[in-house]
Structure 1
Amino acid sequence: MTFTTSNISQQSFGLAGSVPATLTLFNRLSTDDKLGVLWFIYKEMGNGAVTPAATGAARLQFATGLLGQVKDLSPNEQLAFMRDLVNRARTPMTRAYGVLTNNTKLAFWYQLAEMMKAGDVIGVPSVYKLSPRASEVYSGIVALEFGQQITLLRQSVISMGYDPFA
């Protein structure tokens, strides 16, 4: 195949277009569906379905205190906090999240999922199944290439929480 300017533009647009389209679908999900999709994404990291995010690049030490606060909450309060993050509620803890850098927010969710796996934070019930819409979004994320997955994950979590400076 010969590459011309128009094929390259079309190919680039097709690849870049799948992230915004999938992100739009993600943003239209209910709060609990968003949490479910994030759980399944992070649960599948390392199993080949989703590429693990490079959390070492993020300054997770800035989120350690907040993660400790989440761990100290009751299971119902932990779930309420996660819902508050997704819904951009204005609470002291969501404000602490809101001022984190984009990479730290991505690392925060990765660490939160690890805490869920370890049983330190309320997890998704083992019988939980994604809704049809959430399953479609999850499949769309899995189909993305590594860089696109990270971009989509970062874009999905950066707007969460409450940023008092925004």
Structure 2
Amino acid sequence: MATLHLQTGFEQTFEQTIAQFRAMTAESQLGILWLIYDRLGHAIASATPVAKFSQVVHSLIRQLHQLSRHERFQALRDIVVGSPTRFSEAYTGLDTNMKLAFWYCLAHDPGGTPRYPLPLLEADPILQALDSMDLNQQIYFLRRAVESFGL
């Protein structure tokens, strides 16, 4: 006999928020990602302490820094949409904690990683949903978001 599984209100809202996020342009996804990392700051670093210091993550970031700002923006966009580039291929090889650490290091990088302007109308529903989540739920959202990049 099949078991009927009903999602809770939070699970439905969460899945809708993930779907909205994934439906956004790569630029908007990057903008929201930066906002989340600004908001959560060190909570992400404590969630992935070993990954933050990974040589693989830092090697990938060093390679990005060898690019011009425009090329770096394009490389990050390629990672989000899954274009077959050396950066997106390297990114997909990372585990989830390494992916979180990669974006954390970029978001807190004084080396001038480009910021992405957000169309507020497009971002508002996602930001409102994130505001209603507790810290663990926000980190889970972030994990789900970065896992999907590059696929």
Same fold (TM over 0.5): yes
The residue aligned with 1:141 is 130
Deviations 1:27-71 (A, max 9, x none): 11111111111111112224xxxx821231536413111011112
Aligned alpha-carbon RMSD (Å): 2.2
Contact 2:52 2:105 (C-alpha < 8 Å) held by counterparts: no
Using the alignment, how far apart are the partners of 2:80 and 2:140 within structure 1? 18
1:57 to 1:138, Cα distance in 2 relative to 1, 3 A? farther
Equivalent residue, structure 2, for 1:18: 13
Of 75, 78, 82, 1:84 maps to 78
Does the CA contact (< 8 Å) of 1:33 and 1:131 recur in 2? no
Q: Distance in 2 between matches of 1:84 and 1:59?
A: 22
- Is 1:151 the equivalent of 2:140? yes
User: Distance between the aligned counterparts of 2:25 and 2:52, measured in 1?
Assistant: 30
Contact in 2 for aligned 1:22/1:137 (Cα 8 Å): yes
Which residue is 2:48 aligned to?
A: 55
Q: Are the counterparts in 2 of residues 55 and 106 from structure 1 also a CA contact under 8 Å?
A: yes
Q: State the 1:129 CA deviation.
A: 4.3
CA distance in 1, matches of 2:51, 2:9: 29
Give deviations 1:101-126, integer Å, cap 9, x for gaps: 011101111111011xx1x133226x
Aligned residue for 1:64?
A: 58
In structure 1, what is the equivalent of residue 115 of structure 2?
124
> C-alpha separation between the residues in 2 aligned to 1:100 and 1:108?
9
How far apart, in 2, do the equivalents of 1:121 and 1:78 lie? 10
Scaled by the length of structure 1, the TM-score of the pair is 0.77
Deviations 1:71-122 (Å, cap 9, x if unpaired)?
221100110011101111001111011100011101111111011xx1x133
Q: Mind listing any 5+ residue stretches in structure 1 that lack a counterpart?
A: 1-8
Sort the Cα spacing of 1:129 and 1:98 in 2 relative to 1 into closer, same or farther, 3 A: closer
1:70–1:121 contact (8 Å) kept in structure 2: no
User: Normalising by structure 2, what TM-score?
Assistant: 0.84
Where do 4+ consecutive residues of structure 1 move more than 6 Å?
none
Q: Distance in 2 between matches of 1:60 and 1:155?
A: 21
**Kept after mapping to 2: 8 A contact 1:55/1:107:** yes
User: How many equivalent residue pairs?
Assistant: 144
Question: Which ranges of structure 2 fall in alignment gaps of 5 or more residues?
Answer: none
- Which amino acid counterpart does residue 39 of structure 2 have in structure 1? E
Contact 1:78 1:121 in 2 (8 A): no
Q: 1:130/1:60 Cα in 2 relative to 1: closer, same or farther (>3 Å)?
A: farther
